[in-house]
Structure 1
Amino acid sequence: MSKYKLFLLRHGEGAWNKENRFCSWVDQKLSDNGIVEAQECGRLLKEHGYQLGQVFTSILSRSIHTAWLVLEALGQEWVPVTKSWRLNERHYGALIGLNRAEMALNHGEQQVKLWRRSYDITPPPIDDSHPYFDEIYNDRRYMTCDVPKEQLPKSESLKEVLDRLLPYWNEVIVPVIKSGQTVLISGHGNSCRALLKHLEGISETDIVNVTLPTGVPVLLELDEDLRPVKPRQLLGDQAKIQEAIKKVEDQGKVQKK
């Protein structure tokens, strides 16, 4: 029997999603389409009558802006929003800023899929010669983290995302859920996939094939032990959702001319 409801939401399309680039910890805004996606998500939740108790986001603008737009469309702007770097997107290291399709052309589609989707393969780390190194590590937001800036990752596998996310999940988010509030996590493709792996017990092999499109709310109904009582539900037009999933999966493939 369902006792708790949790929504996982990959933020609306960002500017670099549209350009098919590894965005990661670079702070990109939502694209025009991403704004629409977030607003439509909020309207969808409102149509279903959901009332949120608390929202959690990363400290990246596209995650925060998505949450604001969802709450505005819901008419629930007063709901508390809590931000943490532990919900950030996976750190793609030296791959940040590169075009996925071009990488597939140069390194092969299978290698790009491993970098993007595998559980325990870590991309090459970023270093101070990288064009976006200073933009990330000299950003004031990373002075606010609960670890020294020197201990922040320079690259991450999905396993490492889950490792840095779980303490925050257990210590901060779980108590809110267990208080009976409906929680929305406005996160990123990989922070949401990591949580799905944990909650649903997805194997290291099968997580490779879990794809989340931007702006589509994922409803998890959980029992008192926070285990799913039914399959996850991606809310919205199912044909459009499948089309969006294919679009995400195709980002790592060589583009046909």
Structure 2
Amino acid sequence: MAGARLVLMRHGQSLGNEANLFTGWNDLDLSACGHEEARRAGRLMRAHGLRFDAAHCSMLRRAIHTLHHCLDGLDQPWLPEHKSWRLNERHYGALQGLNREDTIARYGQEQVQQWRRGFAVIPPEVEPDSPHHPGNDPRYAMIPDADLPRAESLAMTLERVRPYWQDTLLPDLRRGRSLLVVTHGTVMRALISHLDGLSPEETQTLEIPTGTPLVYGVNEAGTVKQMGHL
């Protein structure tokens, strides 16, 4: 397929992944393994001859630092960067910061699995005075309070991400501009679901590896075709 390239990538392993936490919008950095995964991804994209016109990522440091490692590996550290809360990980509400095994011990395997992967299942909401409420974080001060999540399902994450695809990413791709998007596991599920036309059942079972570029081709008509992981 002639035209632009879109590369979607989940950040490298985070400290939250390493500790088996519900991380969500909790702003944890990459683990030592995650830093290396990100550097390796940048070198891999360069070896495959990928070049980009702009880069996009979330407002969370594990995605930002992954992007910077990738840009160094690509020898494109000067590339324009765009950060958006719409590319943030799913907000896990009151589960954020909790260890998954401890949560299973408290609520049971079935309930926790529903919170994690149920397409429309919403975890318990975070309280307004919690440090995990995005309204208490200055980086989100310009976002209307009504738009800030207190907890999200996978379906809600898809609705949050879709406008960014439609209004920001797709117009650039149609103009032939290739884009690198570094984001999070649930946002990857949402984007892949939208681009590949997956059902809710297919979407909630997607496994997204850390630090692994997924390449799409996009033509001038906006037709998107998955070309696979590098």
Which residues of 2 match residues 33-48 of structure 1 at below 5 A?
33-48=33-48
> Shift of the alpha carbon at 1:140?
1.2
Which residues of 2 match residues 55-204 of structure 1 at below 5 A?
55-128=55-128, 130=130, 132-133=131-132, 136-145=134-143, 148-204=144-200
Residue identity opposite 2:142 in structure 1: T
> Shift of the alpha carbon at 1:133?
3.1
In angstroms, what is the RMSD of aligned CA positions? 1.7
> Shift of the alpha carbon at 1:80?
0.7
> Shift of the alpha carbon at 1:225?
4.3
Looking at structure 2, the residues matched to 203 and 151 of structure 1 have their Cα atoms a distance apart, in angstroms, of 26
Looking at structure 2, the residues matched to 70 and 151 of structure 1 have their Cα atoms a distance apart, in angstroms, of 30
> Shift of the alpha carbon at 1:100?
1.2
Q: State, as a whole percentage, how many aligned pairs show the same letter.
A: 39
Residue 229 of structure 2: aligned partner: 234
TM-score, normalised to structure 1, is 0.84
Residue 204 of structure 2: aligned partner: 208
Contact 2:57 2:82 in 1 (8 A): yes
Asked whether 1:218 is paired with 2:217, we answer no
Looking at structure 1, the residues matched to 223 and 195 of structure 2 have their Cα atoms a distance apart, in angstroms, of 6
Contact 2:176 2:219 in 1 (8 A): no
Q: 1:105 to 1:227 in 2, by over 3 A?
A: farther
Looking at structure 2, the residues matched to 166 and 205 of structure 1 have their Cα atoms a distance apart, in angstroms, of 19
Residue 250 of structure 1: aligned partner: none
Q: 1:12 to 1:174 in 2, by over 3 A?
A: same
Residue identity opposite 1:163 in structure 2: E
> Shift of the alpha carbon at 1:128?
3.5
Gaps of 5+ in 2: none
Q: 1:76 to 1:27 in 2, by over 3 A?
A: same
> Shift of the alpha carbon at 1:62?
0.9
Q: 1:23 to 1:193 in 2, by over 3 A?
A: same
Residue identity opposite 1:169 in structure 2: W
Aligned residues: 230
Looking at structure 1, the residues matched to 227 and 18 of structure 2 have their Cα atoms a distance apart, in angstroms, of 26
Looking at structure 2, the residues matched to 210 and 53 of structure 1 have their Cα atoms a distance apart, in angstroms, of 29
Gaps of 5+ in 1: 236-257
Q: Give the secondary structure class of the aligned counterpart of 2:68.
A: helix
Q: Give the secondary structure class of the aligned counterpart of 2:200.
A: coil
TM-score, normalised to structure 2, is 0.93
Q: 1:141 to 1:109 in 2, by over 3 A?
A: same
Contact 1:122 1:157 in 2 (8 A): yes
> Shift of the alpha carbon at 1:105?
3.0
